[in-house]
């Protein structure tokens, strides 16, 4: 058994997503990540519903997120299963000039989302900066109720989907691996799993979609066939607010998400997206 697993690891395969050590990150120059999000929920802070209340937060982040917009609506869903209600109220969106990075602040949560993710270290550093801005603006919560980190990967186009069996483990493909009669085609093949590991909930949704179809809230549709791998890792437990504790928990959540992703895909998947394995 050890020989088989060692050989697999040598080839870049992750034999299990539940090992003690997270897989070493493999940089992908053409990463299929379309969105990464982190959200911290906390008890309602009415001060956040006022312009005066968030002025200090805006000022602390203005250098990195110069564009601030006010919305009166629900923000994009962070958790695929929508296990909680956010409610209506003022939502403040602070973004970079190109909208590649966005900070979302509402009366009961703060979130960081990006379509320009590079590394876990960079993402956690940016999240830390957002939390420091909360403290500087006297908006830091006394306790946090929930922390979630979500990664959404997507590959698109017939050429990729035709080779899906080379890119994704058979256990993940499931019924998508079934040979169809001549003239037939797979329209939708979706799966979901919900795990509890190290005190954290892991919800993963993946599958093949036709053009202009959505699997879950929070992701724009595309006009070509696609395969989506969406992992949300979260912990729901009230605890005293601490920047160090939040970042440590976010790091743990991100590592669980990455381990599941690396287990699900093959070395060929990594190579096609610019990874060296």
Of the candidates 130, 144, 134, 150, which has an alpha carbon nearest to the alpha carbon of residue 219?
Answer: 150
Strand order in the sheet with 200-209: 67-72, 90-95, 101-106, 109-114, 33-41, 143-156, 226-240, 200-209, 189-197
Domain-by-domain residue ranges, the chain? 23-34+149-272, 39-147
Which CATH code for domain 39-147?
3.60.90
What pLDDT, on a 0 to 100 scale, did the predictor assign at position 12?
Answer: 63
What are residue 114's DSSP bridge partners? 36, 101
What pLDDT, on a 0 to 100 scale, did the predictor assign at position 149?
Answer: 98
What are residue 38's DSSP bridge partners? 112, 149
Alpha helices for 143-266 (secondary structure H):
158-162, 164-167, 170-173, 243-264
What pLDDT, on a 0 to 100 scale, did the predictor assign at position 56?
Answer: 97
What pLDDT, on a 0 to 100 scale, did the predictor assign at position 90?
Answer: 85
| Number of Cβ within a 10 Å radius of residue 242 | 13
Mean pLDDT by 10 residues, the chain (277 residues): 41 74 88 96 94 96 96 56 54 96 96 96 98 98 97 90 90 71 71 91 92 80 91 96 98 96 95 90
């Amino acid at each position: 058994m050890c020989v088989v697993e060692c050989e697999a690891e040598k080839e870049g395969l992750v034999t299990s997503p539940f090992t003690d050590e997270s897989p070493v990150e493999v940089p992908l120059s053409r990463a299929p990540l379309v969105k990464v999000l982190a959200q911290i929920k906390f008890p309602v802070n009415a001060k956040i519903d006022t312009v005066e209340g968030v002025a200090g937060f805006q000022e602390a982040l203005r250098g990195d997120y110069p564009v601030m917009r006010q919305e009166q609506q629900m923000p994009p869903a962070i958790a695929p299963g929508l296990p909680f209600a956010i409610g209506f109220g003022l939502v403040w969106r602070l973004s970079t000039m190109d909208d590649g990075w966005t900070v979302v602040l509402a009366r009961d949560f703060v979130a960081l989302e990006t379509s320009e993710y590079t590394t876990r270290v960079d993402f956690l550093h940016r999240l830390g900066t957002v939390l420091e801005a909360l403290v500087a603006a006297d908006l830091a919560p006394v306790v946090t109720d929930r922390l979630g980190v979500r990664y959404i990967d997507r590959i698109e186009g017939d050429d990729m989907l035709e080779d899906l069996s080379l890119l994704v483990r058979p256990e993940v493909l499931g019924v998508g691996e079934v040979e169809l009669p001549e003239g037939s085609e797979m329209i939708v093949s979706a799966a979901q799993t919900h795990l509890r590991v190290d005190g954290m909930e892991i919800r993963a949704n993946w599958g093949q979609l036709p053009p202009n179809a959505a699997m879950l809230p929070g992701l724009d549709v595309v006009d070509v066939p696609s395969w989506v791998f969406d992992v949300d890792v979260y912990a729901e437990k009230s605890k005293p607010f601490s920047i160090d504790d939040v970042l440590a928990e976010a790091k743990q959540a991100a590592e669980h998400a990455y381990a599941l992703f690396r287990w699900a895909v093959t070395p060929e998947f990594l190579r096609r997206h610019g990874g060296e394995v």
